[in-house]
Amino acid sequence: MTTRTIKTWAWVHKWSSIVCTVFMLLLCITGLPLIFHHEIGHLLGTEVEAPKMTEGTPHTSLDKVLEVARAKYPDRVVQFASKDEDDDNLWFVTLTPTPAPTDDFRSVAVDARTAEALPTPRFDEGFMWIMFKLHVDLFAGLAGKLFLGLMGLLLLVAIVSGVVLYSPFMRKLDFGTVRRDKRTRLKWLDLHNLLGIVTLVWLFVVGATGMINTWADLMIKYWQYDQLSTLLAPYKGQPTVPVAERASVQRSMEVAAAQAPGTKLAFIAFPGTAFSSPHHHTFFLKGNEPFTSRLLQPVLVDAKTAEVTAAPKLPWYLTALLVSQPLHFGDYGGMPMQIIWALLDIATIIVLGSGLYLWLKKGNPVHEHKPRTGPEAAAPPPHAPAPGQAPQPVGANAAARLEGAP
């Protein structure tokens, strides 16, 4: 690799790292508790549990469950309803002021057997909610998501450019070398490079899936425009179906389940909401295997007649989104995978923090020079900045890394 090529890659690595590092640190720090959100929820008392009953107690009608939820917040409309992932005896019903997407929501937990409303904590406040919002959109909605997506793209650029520059840096060092007898900045540089290459694949996967997740709103809108609009052509010009004119949701759920045997309910989107149309209850069904449980099959059921209108296959980009979401948080393999994800997250925090430290720590070049005497002592050392010029940031510039090699 020529010197010019190295300098070009060094420039790309330096500026992509400098721009995204602070935001990536924020995402790693806020993402750490989110890996254990269920466990933390139990500790904070925000997890709802159904009362113990005889196993096999029959479930009541979903219509009764929805009636109880609406009674709690009569001035709101139902947006979504879903079964708890870990307890089939719990329904969670989400209600909002209007069908439009909003952060102003209320959740009601209802016992699926007795249709009794259970004490439900607020999910839109508290420590975990703040961590979630900072991690997802910086409390800035779609604009915040897209901004974080851009930072994720810069992270991928920094990773690729760092890999390109790693080979020339390591040509004189054994893999994993940390020169502890050198200056502090050089030790941190070696540690930064070592942890960076060790966490390389994980960080690339998490960064890429995180970037894809920031596009979720746009993907869903495009899917609705591109595919659902054709399916909804017969309903053109008709208003949203009023609640009083809707067919039984229990009956609609049964016909949707019959449309896709071997699946179970993930969630229901009600008419007029972001994941449905003004004229349908949309049932999102999922498989029973670890992988297929992440893939959704939408079934559109006419809200008036309880007849299946369509069961379109999700396009590839929404499938990629659904697969990337649990991979991003390490939700595939239970507690062992969560622990691995947490350890890698901590290592990444050290990588990002050390890179920021190396850039902010101004001073002489990282390599040590032998004492000089005579006329040479008055001359500036090699690579020293010119008078009035700020020292070059070391942590983000791979050219400075090469200077630190023996």
Q: Using pLDDT thresholds of 50, 70 and 90, give the confidence band for residue 406.
A: very low
Number of domains in the chain: 1
Q: Using pLDDT thresholds of 50, 70 and 90, give the confidence band for residue 174.
A: low
Dump pLDDT digits (tens) for 176-219.
566 666 677 667 776 767 777 778 888 898 999 999 999 999 99
User: 314 near 284, Cβ under 8 Å?
Assistant: no
Nearest to 14 by CA among 344, 358, 346: 358
Full residue range of the structural domain in which residue 157 is found = 3-36+135-213+334-366+390-404
pLDDT of residue 213: 92
Whether the pLDDT of residue 397 is over 60: the answer is no
Whether the pLDDT of residue 291 is over 60: the answer is yes
> Does 282 reside within a domain?
no
> Does 263 reside within a domain?
no
pLDDT of residue 114: 94
Least confident of 73-82, 164-173, 376-385: 376-385
Whether the pLDDT of residue 94 is over 80: the answer is yes
- Rounded-to-10 torsion of CA 39, 43, 49, 53: 100
**Which of the pair, 281 or 405, is modelled with greater confidence?**
281
User: Which structure tokens are listed for 294?
Assistant: 């992440």
Element (H, E) at 217: helix 216-223
> Does 180 reside within a domain?
yes
> Does 249 reside within a domain?
no
Separation CA 159–CA 157 (nearest Å): 5
pLDDT of residue 351: 84
End-to-end CA distance of the chain: 19
Residue partners of 292: CB distance under 8 A and separation at least 6: 286
Dump pLDDT digits (tens) for 299-321.
999 999 999 999 988 889 998 88
Separation CA 403–CA 177 (nearest Å): 16
Whether the pLDDT of residue 138 is over 80: the answer is yes
Residue 327 is given by DSSP the state H
> Does 109 reside within a domain?
no
Q: Using pLDDT thresholds of 50, 70 and 90, give the confidence band for residue 386.
A: very low
Distances (CA, A) of 83 to 44, 93, 104, 284, 323: 21, 9, 21, 12, 20
Residue 352: what are its φ and ψ, rounded to 5°? Answer: -70, -40
- Rounded-to-10 torsion of CA 254, 257, 261, 264: -120
User: 146 near 217, Cβ under 8 Å?
Assistant: no
User: 281 near 287, Cβ under 8 Å?
Assistant: no
> Does 338 reside within a domain?
yes
User: 13 near 158, Cβ under 8 Å?
Assistant: yes
Q: Give the largest CA-CA distance in the chain.
A: 97
Residue partners of 400: CB distance under 8 A and separation at least 6: 365, 366, 392, 393, 394
> Does 74 reside within a domain?
no
Dump pLDDT digits (tens) for 319-373.
888 888 877 877 666 788 889 889 989 988 888 888 777 777 754 443 444 444 4
Strand partners, 296: 286
What is the SS3 assignment for 109? strand
> Does 94 reside within a domain?
no
